[in-house]
Each structure stands twice: as C-alpha cells, then as structure tokens.
Amino acid sequence: MIDKYHKFAIAPMIDWTDRHCRYFHRQLTRRALLYTEMVVADAIIHGDRDRLLAFDVAEHPVALQIGGSDPDKLAEATRIGVDFGYDEINLNVGCPSDRVQSGAFGACLMRDPALVQRCVTAMKSAARNVPVTVKCRIGVDEQQPETVLPDFAGQMRAGGADGLWVHARKAWLQGLSPKENRTIPPLDYPLVHALKATHPDWFIGINGGIAGIGEVRDHLKRMDGVMVGRKAYGEPAFLTAVDTLFGNKPSDPDWAAIIDAMMAYAARHIERGGRLSAVTRHMVGLFTGMPGARRWRQILSTEATRPDATPEIIAQAFEAVDRHAGETMPAFAVA
C-alpha cells in the first residue's frame, strides 16, 4: 500500500543521495520520501551491507532503490532491504549509463517488460507488507512511448507493483551520456498524465525537469506523486516549502536549528572515523540565491575539505549568511 508521503519524493541519484545527503534533506522537509542511491542487488547480497544500507532513523520515510534483472537475486536483495527497515523497495528501470547496461539492468530493461514483471513479482513475494515500486522512462531509443509506456505500466501492475514512478523522457542508450539523458530528450508530461488517467486507483508519480513548488502543485492535480532530483540537490532550500504540500502551514525556515543539527550529525560522523567533507559536500547549495551564499560555498568547498576539519567550519560558514538569512528567500522556496 502506498502512503501519503509518496506525494513528494526526492529522486535517487548516484553519488549524491547517500545517507549524509538524506539526513541533510530531512532537516529541510519532514514529509518527503527520501531515496537511496541505486544499489546493485549483487552488492546487497554479497557486499558490506552496513556500509551500503545502514541509515539514520531520522531519515524515515526512506526507500531503497535496487538495480538488477535476476528475479531471485532481486527477491533476496528485497528481503535484506526490508530487514534493514526501508519503507519502500524500488526497482531501477530508468538508468541509461553504459555501466548499468553492461549489467543488463536499468533503462535497457524497458525492452523486456516480461522480465521486469517477473522481477517485480519476485520482489513482492519477498517484501512482506512493504510497497514495491518501479522507476522507469517513457521508452528507450526508437521505441514509441505512446505504445510502450501503457503496455509497460500494465505489465508492472499485473506483476504486483504497488506503483510506478515515470521519468517523462526517453532514454537514449547510445549516443548520450547519463547527464545528457537527463536534459536532452524532450519531456512529455501529457503522456504521463494520460497514463495516470487510465489507472485512477493505482499509484503513478511523475519525475523529470520539475523545478518549483508551483510546478509540483500543478502536477499533483493530475498525478499521485511528484519526484524531484537535481533541483532538490542543487538548491536544497527549495525543500523547505515541500511540507506545505501535506497541509503544513508555511513558515520561515529555522536556519540556525538546521545548522545545529548538521553540526551535531557531522560530529558523530567524525567520531566514527569519517571526514567533514562527506557531509558538507551536500550542503554547498543551501543558501543559493541568498546574500552571503558565495562565501558559504567558498568555506565549505575549501576549509571543510581539510582532513582535520571540524564541524565548527559549518558554523563559520553560516556566519557569512546568518545576519542576512531572514531578508531574502529564493523565489522557488515560496509555497
């Protein structure tokens, strides 16, 4: 069963949405569904599970995205993810990178929906009461999305998927890099809206190029959920308006409390042998569009990267913006 927190999700992003990023984002929004980076099923089964899957209880609700194409392995990885306490398990059928294609998973699986259906069925059998969803594109390469996407969605639903997240672009498996695949293929929001209209009682969320709370609200008139990636990471103050989507009253962010929480979190990370930069690299864009943001970025990009850097560096950087923080809010963060 899909819960209300699926109304807004922060997209899974390789090299970005690690546990430190997710903890930071949770300080900005209490209600958004957070996603891990994609973790390959083989790594979950045979790798260092604590390193790959452990998360802070504050991150809930949090979803685990898995990559793979072997139903048995995906079932086992799902069981492990459920045991770790994840609130949702998601199958990646949208990543177009060469590395992922070489493993026969990601977006290339849109060419074999019958296999994906078997994967979903196996994952559902292992998930107990935890929802299993799929994240896909509208098609790949020469496929015709108007035909391919409805058929794919129908097979996912028949396989037992609790919902579908659709990146409203094709993926080109040859000729475009993963970065280019996030921007060059044209968006087709109406196609995804039409898909949702044919499945009124099944969760379908939309992703791709969404850059403001106003846009999120517009999509929610037609969709069950909205997923945002690059905007949430590059300009995270955007997330401070997200909880208004769930009925919370608009309020000014308590920047000092957010900074205090991140300093305490960074201190715990350093005590475990980590480095400050593993945490602060996700915070660089926090004050984008606000007075003092440039100095904030400079300090976090230089001082915080020293091997002996301490959490006080975060406070030092905050001093550059603290006296201005109430004067200017980025327009995208206004509900």
Q: Are residues 66 and 117 in the same domain?
A: yes
Q: Which of 58, 21, 63, 25 is nearest to 238 (CA)?
A: 25
Q: Binding site: what residues are annotated? A: 65, 135, 167, 207-209, 229-230
Nearest to 227 by CA among 3, 1, 12, 2: 12
Statement to judge: residues 198 and 314 lie in one domain: no
Assign 89 to helix, strand or coil.
Answer: strand
Q: Which of 95, 108, 119, 136 is catalytic?
A: 95
**Active-site residue, 136 included:** no
Domain that holds residue 274: 255-322
pLDDT digits (tens, 9 = 90+) for 120-177: 999 999 999 999 999 999 999 999 999 999 999 999 999 999 999 999 999 988 878 8
Same domain flag for 198 and 285: no
Looking at the fold, whether 169 and 309 belong to one and the same domain comes out as no
Question: Do 194 and 103 lie in a common domain?
Answer: yes
pLDDT, one tens digit per residue, over 56-101 is: 999 999 999 999 999 999 999 999 999 999 999 999 999 887 666 6
Tell me: do 234 and 169 sit in the same domain: yes
Where is the domain boundary, 219, 246, 273?
A: 246
* Final residue belonging to a domain, choices 246, 264, 288: 246
- In a domain, residue 191? The reply is yes
Let me know: does 225 contact 6? Beta carbons within 8 Å.
Answer: yes
CATH number where 265 lies = 1.20.120.1460
Domain count along the chain: 2
Question: pLDDT digit string (tens) for 214-238?
Answer: 999 999 999 999 999 999 999 999 9
Do 188 and 41 lie in a common domain? yes
Closest CA to 107 of 17, 170, 182: 170
The answer to whether 213 and 228 are in contact (CB under 8 A) is no
Binding site membership for FMN: which residues? 65, 135, 167, 207-209, 229-230
Q: Domain check: are 172 and 316 in the same one?
A: no
Q: Is the dihedral of CA 192, 194, 200, 202 positive or negative?
A: negative
CATH of the domain at 175: 3.20.20.70
Q: Is residue 335 part of a domain?
A: no
d(Cα 303, Cα 310) in Å, to the nearest integer?
Answer: 9
* Average pLDDT for 192-213: 97
Residue 293: other Cβ atoms inside 10 A: 20
pTM for this entry: 0.94
Among candidate residues 246, 271, 287, the one where a domain is terminated = 246
Domain assignment of residue 327, yes or no: no
The answer as to whether 218 is a domain residue is yes
Alpha helix segments (H runs only) across 225-326: 230-234, 255-271, 276-280, 293-302, 312-322
List, for residues 290-314, the tens digit of each pLDDT value: 999 999 999 999 999 999 999 999 9
Whether the predicted pLDDT of 331 surpasses 80 = no
